[in-house]
């Protein structure tokens, strides 16, 4: 496979690529405004952000393959924030407790000719009703830091999810099935 740039600083995304035998040539995070546009739905938001990230890095590195991704946790039409503080993480956990939610992960690849290819992975999940002790313990762990929707399924919060339909790796931040296919199309 041709060399490619990963437009993300996420160690989880690098690890997931490694699990399928892919290593980015370079890592160049895309710094974009990730705020939702008024009226934007979760699926469209994840796809738009992934595409914008890929295009921004590709514009600065013409002629190179660029991979970008973005993950959005949603309850209905509501996009949950990325948890940057304990108060936000707690609010997300309380909202998700005992409820179904969806995780959308947009993946975008810009090929050497500047052609953009993209996909969205949708996963439906159900979280158990959390006790006060479970919420407190999870918040104390710090695993919520920087996570969409206030939790990371690959850690302690994995024990809170009793049903998942879709892509486990998509919930982690990079659906490997869609990613591999997009990279193969861009690098062939």
Q: Which residues are annotated as catalytic?
A: 70
- CA–CA distance, 87 with 58 (Å, rounded to integer): 36
Q: Parallel, antiparallel, or unpaired: how do β-strands 4-6 and 65-75 relate?
A: parallel
Q: Which of 175, 127, 182 is nearest to 12 (CA)?
A: 175
Phi-psi category of residue 167: left, alpha or beta, with phi > 0 → left and psi -120 to 50 → alpha: beta
Q: How far apart are the first and last CA of the chain?
A: 8
Contacts 24+ apart (CB under 8 A), 7-10: 7/53, 7/54, 7/56, 7/57, 7/66, 7/67, 7/68, 8/53, 8/67, 8/68, 8/69, 10/69, 10/173, 10/174
- Rounded to whole angstroms, the Cα distance separating 160 from 153 reads 8
- Residue 148 backbone dihedrals phi, psi, to 5 degrees: -60, 130
């Amino acid at each position: 496979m041709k060399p490619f740039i990963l437009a993300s600083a996420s160690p989880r995304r690098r690890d997931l690529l490694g699990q399928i035998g892919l290593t980015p040539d370079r890592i160049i995070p895309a710094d974009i405004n990730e705020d939702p546009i008024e009226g934007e739905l979760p699926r469209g938001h994840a796809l738009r952000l992934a595409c914008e990230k890929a295009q921004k890095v590709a514009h600065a590195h013409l002629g190179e393959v660029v991979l970008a991704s973005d993950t959005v946790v949603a309850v209905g039409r509501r996009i949950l924030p990325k948890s940057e503080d304990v108060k936000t993480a707690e609010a997300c956990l309380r909202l998700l407790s005992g409820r179904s939610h969806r995780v959308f992960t947009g993946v975008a690849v810009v090929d050497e000719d500047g052609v953009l290819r993209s996909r969205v992975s949708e996963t439906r999940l159900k979280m158990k009703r959390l006790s006060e002790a479970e919420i407190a313990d999870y918040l104390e762990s710090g695993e919520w830091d920087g996570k969409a929707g206030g939790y990371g399924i690959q850690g302690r919060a994995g024990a809170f999810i009793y049903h998942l339909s879709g892509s486990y790796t998509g919930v982690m931040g990079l659906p490997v099935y869609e990613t591999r296919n997009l990279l193969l199309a861009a690098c062939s």
